[in-house]
Chains A and B, each alone.
Chain A
Amino acid sequence: MTEVAVPPTGSPAATGSPAATGSPAVTGGHAPTSAGGHGAGHNGAHGLSHATSTGVSNEKMAMWAFLGSECLLFGALISTYILYRHRAVSGPTPRKLYDIPFTSVSSFVLLMSSLSMVLALAAIQRGDLRRLRVWLVTTAMLGATFISGQIYEFTTFVHEGMSIKTNVTSGAFFVLTGFHGVHVTLGIIMLLSLTGMSLRGKIPQEKSEVIEIAGLYWHFVDIVWVIIFTVVYLIP
C-alpha cells in the first residue's frame, strides 16, 4: 500500500513536482519520527506501508493489543493452576507423573521454533521467498513436534489414571496446557496457510508484515510456555 503524500507547505512538492525536485513529502498527516539512522535499515525491512494516526502499523498494534488481552486469559489459567495445585483429595496429581527430561526437550523444541520463525521473517524482509517457506515449514514442524509430545504426555497421564476429571489439580493442569496446545495448533495451521499462500505468490516481500504479525503470535505462544514450564513443571 502506498502512503498518501502530503507535501510540506511551500515546498516544491506542494506544487506538484516532488519527483522532479526531489523534495521530500510527508506521509498522510503525520510524519515518521524515526531519524538519525533508526529508520533507514528499519524502513526497508518492513512490509505494508500506509499512513496511520499513531505512526505505527494498525495491524501490528491490533496484534499487540490482542496479545495483551491473551496475557489476561493465560494469567487466569496459570493462577487457577497455582490455586489448585495442592488441593487434590484423590487420584494422582500431575507432579507425580511429570517426565521432566521429556518436557525439557519439548520446551527446547518450542524455543527453537521461535528462532526459525524469526529467521522466516528475516528471509522475507530480504526478499528471499524460498528461505521464507523453508523456515515457515520448519517452524510448523517444530510446533507439530511439540504438540505430538503434548499428546503423548496427556495420553500417558490418562493411562496412569489422571484424567481431566480426576481431581481439581489435574483439571486445572489439563485446561491450562490444553489451551496452550490449542494456541500452538492454531499457530501451526496459520503457518501452513502462510506457506501455501507464499507458494501461490500471495505473500511478496511487500507484505512481510503479514509474516511479522503471525510471528508475534507464535513468539507469544512460546513465552507463555516459558512461564508454564517454570511455574507448572519446575517449581516444587
Chain B
Amino acid sequence: MSTSATTASDTTASGTTASGTTATTEEHHGAVPDEPGAHAHPSDGVYIIVALVLGGLTAVEVGLYYLKGGTANTVGLLILMAIKFVIVAGFFMHLRFDSKLFRRLFAMGLGMATFVYIAMLFIMGIFKV
C-alpha cells in the first residue's frame, strides 16, 4: 500500500484534517508519510556531479597541503572541509531535501559537540588569545 498526497479543499472545524493537505491511500510502493518541508530527491546525474565536485575539492585540499602556506592554508583547508561536510550532508544525506526536523536534530548534536570541545580546547590552552 502506498500513500499519495493530495491537496484538500479546507480544514474542517473539528480539526481532523490539517490545513490544505490530505493523503489518500492506494496500492503503491509503500512510501513514508510526507515529511514537513520535504522536497523530491535529486537525480543520479546530480549525485555524480556532486561526487565529482567532492573529488575536486579533495584534490584542492591536497594541493594546499603541498603549498605549505602557513595560517592561510590552514584556514583554506578548514573552509574546504566545511564545504565538503555541508555538501555530503546536504546532498547525499538529503538534509537539503528532507524534513527540517532532521536538520535541527543533527545540528543540535553537531553544535553541542563543536561548542563543548572548542571550549575544552580553549581551557586546555590549545588556542592562544
- Using a CB–CB cutoff of 8 Å, the interface residues on chain A facing chain B are 1-3, 5-11, 18, 22, 24-27, 30-35, 38-52, 54-57, 60-61, 64-65, 67-72, 74-76, 78-79, 82-83, 100-101, 104, 107-108, 111-112, 114-115, 117-119, 122, 125, 127, 204-209, 212, 215-216, 219-220, 222-223, 226-227, 229-231, 233-236
Contact = CB atoms under 8 A, between A and B. Distances in A.
Contacts of B97: 42
B12 A11 contact: yes
Contacts of A69: 109
B84 A226 contact: yes
Interface in B68-123: 68, 73-74, 77-78, 80-81, 84-85, 88-89, 91-94, 97-99, 101-102, 105-106, 108-110, 112-114, 116-118, 120-121
A33 B106 CA distance: 21
Interface string B44-77: 1001101100110011011011101000011001
Given A43-B5, A65-B105, A111 B54 contact: yes
Contacts of A5: 25
A119 B24 contact: no
Contact of B33 (A32, A82, A215): A32
A75 B117 contact: yes
A109 to B, nearest CB: 10
Determine the interface band of chain B, counting residues with CB < 8 A from chain A.
Answer: 35 or more
Contacts of A235: 74, 77-78
A42 B35 contact: yes
B17 A83 contact: no
A33 B4 contact: no
Of the listed residues B32, B78, B98, the one surrounded by the most CB atoms of chain A closer than 10 A to its CB is: B32
B52 to A, nearest CB: 9
A7 B44 contact: no
Interface of B: 1-8, 12-14, 16-25, 28-41, 43-44, 47-48, 50-51, 54-55, 58-59, 61-62, 64-66, 68, 73-74, 77-78, 80-81, 84-85, 88-89, 91-94, 97-99, 101-102, 105-106, 108-110, 112-114, 116-118, 120-121, 124, 126
Nearest to A107: B58
A26 B6 CA distance: 10
A119 B81 contact: no
Of the listed residues A34, A50, A82, A127, the one surrounded by the most CB atoms of chain B closer than 10 A to its CB is: A34
Given A9-B12, A57-B32, A100-B62, A26 B109 contact: no
Contacts of B116: 72, 75
Contacts of A78: 117
